[in-house]
Structure 1
């Protein structure tokens, strides 16, 4: 993607797409500012599948984060929820976003919960592939601990070196031990919120079951009482984020309605 800029305060590289006066929308992983240079032409339809459905109205901010693409390095042990939120709010300011919608998937989805509970700058929140209630932070950290010396090839397509993989241990432990989920969810009750997942979206990482779809499904009634809208994408797993045609229209409808 052309037009990548570097925020000198956070060290985060970012790119903007869509009308200058469009509705501000930050989209986190799996999208990124350097998506095309990292994944090449083969996955360009995925990026286009998002942007073509959004950039007529929305000013979309993509970031290279954490420590990917054109962004500066972060020491793995410094990747805590507090650091992540501070960096993303700083780069949002650099991009000209005062209040904005945040949308992320998997790890990026969990980050949205942290942003919404630590800042009043969000106008709406979209989470994909991550359960707002009972998130498997411990399971992900434990799996990362097991895999830290030999991460999967898919992770190394994005990360710079194997040592960086330990950042997922530090991040998830920081949430596991430093975040009051119940209080946070209650506090964001009035925020427009949307969560979606693949029907088959539970995972097994390094032999450790990581419930995602089942947790969202089992907590559906509670989530609705807390103001969440829910969508289950049939017959796909956690890779649903790479099939924008299956859910971006529904998310777009939610955003249009919520931000009208």
Structure 2
């Protein structure tokens, strides 16, 4: 299961993504590449939640129910799951709640010492901005500097931002060091070594550390059954590009599946 967008982006939006260093062809490239050796279930869960926000009910348990419903609709009794960033943490929540996974891949979010507290602060700031600028039409950003997260405009509404506050609030008591997945589940975690997202005053001067905890706990994770890849020189956007992820997934799935 790949919860990614398969439909092409509009040309202007795709060009903006490229200026940010992102890969607008990520979904199609992953799906088409993985489909050479596996049946792929693709569902754009993030876009679904933006179109149909769940401001008070986007909890880990409900996310798991959503993902299992997608698998059911695809008639997949067991399946592997790959998610990046917040969709990676959804994969971990899925893995501790079901025995239907035969493999789990988490990209751009560490399975141990995850930034749940800092992401709650970021989502609360985004929600506050969305309530203040509900009637403001954002203008396109002409000059884009890849990695300048502080300049990212909030272009989501109150319900859309509130659902992520709800998710991270529900995860504040989650102890990822005690998370138990089914014994023997093949699992891979990866992130860029430079995956550190710094937000400025408008966002509460929050630092979201992703690459650092994966590096710090690499051996501990390996000892507990994870395969771990820290990708040198890559940040959050760079490590999610299809040119990086597809070879990593293909090689790993060949080994475990």
Structures share a fold, TM > 0.5?
yes
Match of 2:230 in 1: 232
Residues 33-42 or 196-205, more deviating = 33-42
How far did 1:136 drift? 1.0
Higher strand residue share: 1
1:96-245 map, 5 Å: 96-150=75-129, 153=152, 156=155, 159=156, 161-177=157-173, 179-185=174-180, 187-205=181-199, 206=203, 207-245=205-243
Q: What's the secondary structure of 1:63's corresponding residue? A: coil
Partners of 1:61 and 1:212 in 2: how far apart? 27
How far did 1:251 drift? 1.6
Aligned 8 A contact 1:133 1:215 in 2: yes
How far did 1:112 drift? 0.8
| Residues 55-87 of structure 1: CA deviation (Å, up to 9, x unaligned) | 112222222324x25986233111000110001
| Residues 138-188 of structure 1: CA deviation (Å, up to 9, x unaligned) | 1101121122132675663xx5x24311211110111222x3423324x44
Partners of 2:238 and 2:184 in 1: how far apart? 27
Aligned 8 A contact 1:105 1:241 in 2: no
How far did 1:131 drift? 0.7
Q: What's the secondary structure of 2:62's corresponding residue? A: helix
Structure with larger RCO (C-alpha < 8 A, sep 6+): 2
The runs of 5 or more residues in structure 1 that have no matched partner are 1-25
Q: TM-score, normalised by structure 1?
A: 0.78
Q: TM-score, normalised by structure 2?
A: 0.79
The runs of 5 or more residues in structure 2 that have no matched partner are 16-22, 131-150
Match of 2:5 in 1: 32
User: Relative to structure 1, is the Cα distance of residues 212 and 112 closer, same or farther in structure 2, using a 3 angstrom cutoff?
Assistant: same
Aligned-pair Cα RMSD in Å: 2.4
